[in-house]
Structure 1
Amino acid sequence: MFLIDVVGVRHVQGHQLELKFADGLCAEVDMDKVIKRYSGVFLPLKDDAYFAQVRVDPELGTITWPNGADVCPDVLYSFASGRPIVVNGERVLN
């Protein structure tokens, strides 16, 4: 796991976000790759205007939306950096 907080977010367009991490990494992430698999709390995010309401929650160290949806910062860092998440020696994401 990376354990690196998200410290900045900028909505680019559609479901594209520019993310800045505490270690200085700054990258654009296509959030469709992250959220398209899920429903429930993520359903409102399919609306571009709602999606654009993304903010950083410094207490959680990640991005959130008004309905409480958030994404694990390790998942975001994996997509932003291209580095896989490895658990017990097994690649589980990216």
Structure 2
Amino acid sequence: MLLDVVNFVFLDEYKILLTFENGEKREFDCATLIDQKPFHVFEDKNYFKRAKIEYGTLVWPNEIDIAPETLYVCSTPYEKVS
């Protein structure tokens, strides 16, 4: 089942808190992608922070995106630490 991303919040470093359309919150660490093209541009934190949601997934300028199924499968359930 494909779940769209409906909201996101930047956490520390390259971690992003994602909210999926089913209400589930999951944490995705983009640091695991930085060594791969085209994601090496994330080293520029200003560029990284330009993410937005389009068509149910995260996208960046210059047609860079991460598939929503990748965001879901490669993320972990978010548990807020008090």
**TM-score category by the smaller chain?**
0.7 to 0.9
Structure-1 residue corresponding to 2:75: 80
Listed as ranges, the matches of 1:1-94 within 5 Å are 2-33=1-32, 35-39=33-37, 41-57=38-54, 60-81=55-76
The alpha-carbon deviation at position 23 of structure 1 amounts to 0.9
CA contact (8 A) 2:28 2:76 kept: no
Q: Give the SS at the match of 1:76.
A: helix
Q: Give the Cα–Cα distance (whole angstroms) in 2 for the partners of residues 73 and 37 of structure 1.
A: 20
- Structure 2: runs of 5 or more not aligned: 78-82
Q: How many residues align?
A: 77
Alpha-carbon distance change, 77 to 62 in structure 1, aligned in 2, over 3 angstroms = same
The alpha-carbon deviation at position 37 of structure 1 amounts to 4.6
Q: Give the Cα–Cα distance (whole angstroms) in 1 for the partners of residues 39 and 75 of structure 2.
A: 20
Q: With the length of structure 2 as denominator, give the TM-score of the two structures.
A: 0.80
Q: With the length of structure 1 as denominator, give the TM-score of the two structures.
A: 0.71
Alpha-carbon distance change, 73 to 63 in structure 1, aligned in 2, over 3 angstroms = same
Q: Give the SS at the match of 1:13.
A: coil
- Structure 1: runs of 5 or more not aligned: 83-94
The alpha-carbon deviation at position 81 of structure 1 amounts to 4.4
**RMSD (Å) for aligned C-alpha atoms:** 1.7
CA contact (8 A) 2:28 2:74 kept: yes
Structure with higher Rg: it is: 1
Amino acid at match of 1:36: I
